[in-house]
Amino acid sequence: MQRELNLVQALNEALDLLLTDDDKVLLLGQDIGKNGGVFRVTENLFNKFGDRRVVDTPLSEAGIVGCGIGMALNGLKPIAEIEFFGFIYPALEQILSHLSRLRMRTQGKYKVPLIIRAPYGAGVRAPELHSESIEALLFQSPGLKVVIPSNSYDAKGLLIAASESEDPVIFLEPMKIYRSIRHHVPEHRYTVPLGKANVLKEGSDITVISWGSMIWNVAHAAEQLEKSHGISLEIVDLRTLYPFDIETIQESIRKTRRAVIVHEAPLTGGVGAELVAVIQERMFSELRSPIKRITGFDVPVPQFSIEDYYLPSAERIVYEIEKMLVSLVR
C-alpha cells in the first residue's frame, strides 16, 4: 500500500531532507525547537539537528526576517517560520523594502534565497487575527514568489523546489487542511516546479481556479454540481500565485470557455481580480460568460464563531455557480 501523509507530516519530511542534505539550510522561528512548532511542522527536527540548525528565536518577526535576509546575503539558505500569517506585519518592511529588492538593487551580486513559511487562512476556530489571507499584498510585490500548496504531495515538492530556487519565496500553508487531507507522498526527495499550476480534476463546462484549502471546497462543490445538474467543473489548483501559470489557465478555459475564481481573501483587490483581468485581456472572444469570483467578503476575517459563513463554502460555491448559469439561460 502506498504511504499517505498529511500536510504537516509532508512538510516535516521536506524540512528534514533539506536540513540533512545541505548544512547551509537552517530553520528560524518561534517555538519551532523543543516545541516542534505550534502546528508540529518542525517536530523532532530540534532533537535531530540541534539548536544550531533549528533555532528558537525571540518573539520578533522583523528580527527573524531581517536576520534571515542577512543570513541569505551571507550564503546561507534560511527557512523562517512566522507563527501565523496574520502576525507577519512587523516584518513587512523587511520583506517589501529589502527581501524583494536586494537582488534587483545589486543586479544579482546578492541573492536572497530566504523562504518564509507561515500557516495561513481561516477555518480552524483560531482566536481572532490568526486567520488572515493577505496573499494579495505579497502577490503585488515584484521580487517575491508566492506559493500555496493544497495537498501534502505538493507541499513537500514545492517546499523543496522553493529551497532550490535562488529567489525569496513566501510559502503559505493552509492550516485548515494541515491534518485533514492525506495523500501519497514518496519518501525520496522530489520537487514540484514553482510557477506551474495543477489540473486537479478535468472537466468540460467551467474552469474553477483556486488555491490552498479552498481547493477542497471547490472539489466538493464540483461533486454536487455534477450530481445535481450534470455540470462538469475543471479544477485548476494554482499552487504558485506569483508568478502564476497563465498557460494552464488558458488551456483550460479554451476548453470550457467559462471561468470561476475561488479564494478566501476579500474580493476587492484580491488575486482573483488580477486573474479576471488577465483572462479577459487574452480570451475575451472565447469566453461564453463573464468571469465569476467567489471569495471572502470585503470585511476583516470575522471571529471564529461565524468564520464558516465568511469562507466560500462548497454550498456557497454551488449556489453562486447555479446563479451564474441561470442568468445565462435567461
Q: Is 21 in the site for other proteins (CB under 8 A)?
A: no
Query: Interface with other proteins includes 107 (CB under 8 A)?
Result: yes
The minimum distance between CB 258 and other proteins, in angstroms, equals 23
Cβ atoms of 37 and 43 within 8 Å: the answer is yes
Residue recorded with cell 520537487: 191
Fill in the per-residue mask, 230 to 249: x = in contact with other proteins (CB under 8 A), - = not in contact: ------------xx--x---
Residues numbered 185-224 forming contacts with other proteins, rule: CB under 8 A: 195
Question: Does the protein bind other proteins through residue 90 (CB under 8 A)?
Answer: yes
188 catalytic residue (yes or no): no
Contact pattern for other proteins over residues 156 through 185, marking x by CB under 8 A:
---------xxx------------------
- Within 8 A by CB and 6+ apart from 87, the residues are 61, 129
CA distances for 279 relative to 170, 207, 276, angstroms: 24, 12, 5
Phi, psi at 79, each rounded to 5°: -120, 110
| Residue 22 near other proteins by CB under 8 A | no
The span of 1-9, 105-113, 121-129, 307-315 binding other proteins (CB under 8 A) equals 105-113
**Beta strand pairing call for 145-147 and 240-242:** antiparallel
SS3 state of residue 120: strand
Catalytic residue among 98, 130, 183, 263: 130
Q: Is 284 in the site for other proteins (CB under 8 A)?
A: no
Would you list the DSSP string of 274-293? HHHHHHHHHHGGG-SS--EE
Dist CA 26 CA 42 (whole Å): 12
Residues with catalytic roles: 130
Residues forming the site for other proteins (CB under 8 A): 26, 52, 55, 57-58, 60, 62-63, 65-76, 78, 90, 93-94, 97-98, 102-111, 142-143, 145, 165-167, 195, 242-243, 246
